[in-house]
Amino acid sequence: MVCFNIIDIKLFMNNLLKDKMFDDFEVSTVELNTFTKFNISCDINKKYLSTNEIEILEGRDQVKWSEIKNIVFYMIKGNKTPSYLKIVFSLPHDKIENMISKHQLPTKSDNVNGLFINILYEDNVLKCTTGSSMKIFTLDKTLENYWDDSVKIFFKKHGITV
């Protein structure tokens, strides 16, 4: 787990809300304070969906950022900056499997609960914290360290200075 400040908040928010930087990530939660507090649980309500729509999800339990980004943008849109914003992104499980396989990391994807990027904007400071969750106890931090480095590279690739 690493925590770092985002230097250029405006560029980051543009990438977050208008570009496709996070579109492939799943979202666990969104908390947003503007004129009121919004708390969005990003669990998919499968009872609401048709059988065909559920099949398209391919086993996902949470929405992708691309599916709710416009809603969050609409809630933020205006002249005032939110007083608080927290978003918890998670890497889709198929991408975790690919990363472990491609880089021959010493763990099985079945042992990974998730790899996360936590975004927190509060008091005019934007922070990013990486995280990992395992289903088993392990002292090996190879996956966690690789994820931390990957997030920094991902941000740099999108012009985000940390």
pLDDT in tens, 30-87: 999 999 999 999 999 999 999 999 888 888 999 999 999 999 999 988 778 899 999 9
- The yes-or-no verdict on residue 93 having pLDDT over 80 is yes
pTM, whole model, 2 decimals?
A: 0.92
The contacts of residue 140 (CB under 8 Å, 6+ apart) are 106, 107
- Using an 8 Å Cβ cutoff, are 34 and 75 in contact? yes
Nearest-5° Cα angle at 92, 37 to 64: 40
What's the confidence (pLDDT) of residue 59?
84
Dihedral sign for Cα atoms in the order 126, 120, 71, 97: positive
- The yes-or-no verdict on residue 158 having pLDDT over 90 is yes
Band of the pLDDT at 105, cuts 50, 70, 90? confident
The contacts of residue 25 (CB under 8 Å, 6+ apart) are 64, 65, 89, 90, 91, 92, 117
CB hemisphere CA count around 23 (13 angstroms): 8
